[in-house]
Every structure is written in C-alpha cells, then in structure tokens.
Homo-oligomer: A and B are copies of this chain.
C-alpha cells in the first residue's frame, strides 16, 4: 500500500535533511512514486532542487579560485571549494563513462573525478598526485549522480598533503580514496 501524501512528504523532508544530495530520481524510486510527484512534493514544501541544496550545504559561498589547474580541467562540476580545506564536485554518469556491455561506470572516471578534485583543492599552482589508495565500494550505473567530497587532512612526514575523498550516490558511499599530493611550495 502506498504511503499517504502527508507521510511521504514528512519522510521525504527527513531524507533530505540527512542526505541533501539525493536526486529526485532516487527519491522517486525510494518512495515508489513518479519524479513529477517528488517535484510537486518539493514545491509544496519549498524544498529547492538538488543544485541549490548542494550550494546551501556548503558552509560558505564558493568564492575561491582553483589554483592548480584551469577550472574546466576538473572532471565534474565543482560546487564548493575552500582551498587547502575541502571541495565538492558533481559528476553525472553519462554513456561515455560506462562499459558498453553493462552500463556500469568505468573506474577511471570515478578516479578522475576524485583525483582532479584532490588536485583542485590544493592551494598551489603545481599540485600533482604522488600516491593514492582507492576503494570502489559499489558499482555506479548510467544516469546516477556522483557527489565527491574532498577533505584536506594535513601533511605526512614527507611534506605531502593528504586529501581524503569520498564519493556518494545519494547517501551511499561508492568510492573512497586517500591521495598524497605533491606541492611545489611544500
């Protein structure tokens, strides 16, 4: 039996408080209703669309400039950035990102999103990856939206900057990596 509209809207609101990056498509699947219904629910409750929600989650407006590379060379769309602290990007998995055979996203695209975000977050014009330890937690499918979050954790004994990156589809972690970044001013 379908949930009442009231109950669904209550649960939808709670879901978005916990996982603000959940897409309308994922919400529709979760609640067993159409995407249009989710959109109407959001409008009735004045919940903004995903892109706006991501911006509002960012603790400050993104007013910093990527130093290490031109912004268009970052894989995915950067939606939040505080240099040498943290960064967030979004990558929509499109046909060119998947294995033709099974529509599963290829690992190097998830890696590219995370790695280029780890480069972008460094406040240095020559930031390069020295080492990385990465986990592919679950398969990512065509059409899913991957949100990557990079956090600068500090420096290791060699002066490399450690950046941890987690990538999510909805509230599910799909990729995690630790990146040791070389910087010219280290």
- Chain A interface residues toward B at CB < 8 A: 69-70, 73, 75, 99-102, 104, 106-108, 111-112, 115-116, 119, 125-126, 128-136, 139
Most chain-B CB neighbours within 10 Å: which of A73, A104, A132?
A132
The secondary structure that dominates the A interface is mixed
Partner among B104, B108, B116, B135 whose Cβ is within 8 Å of the Cβ of A131: B135
Question: What residues of chain B lie closer than 8 Å to A139, measured between beta carbons?
Answer: 128
CB distance from A104 to the nearest CB of B (A): 7
Copies in the complex: 2
Q: Is the CB of B102 within 8 A of A73?
A: no
Most B Cβ at <10 Å: residue of A102, A104, A128: A128
Q: A70-B101, A101-B69, A126-B102 are in contact. Are A134 and B136 (CB under 8 A)?
A: no
Q: How far is the CA of A94 from the CA of B129 in the complex (A)?
A: 19
Can you give 18 contacting A-B residue pairs, CB < 8 Å? A69-B99, A69-B101, A70-B100, A73-B100, A73-B106, A107-B115, A107-B128, A107-B132, A108-B108, A108-B112, A111-B112, A111-B115, A128-B136, A130-B136, A131-B133, A132-B132, A132-B134, A133-B134
Given B104, B111, B112, B128, which contacts A104 in the complex, CB threshold below 8 Å? B128
CB of A135 within 8 A of CB of B130, answer: yes
Select one of B129, B133, B135, B136 contacting A107, CB under 8 A.
B129
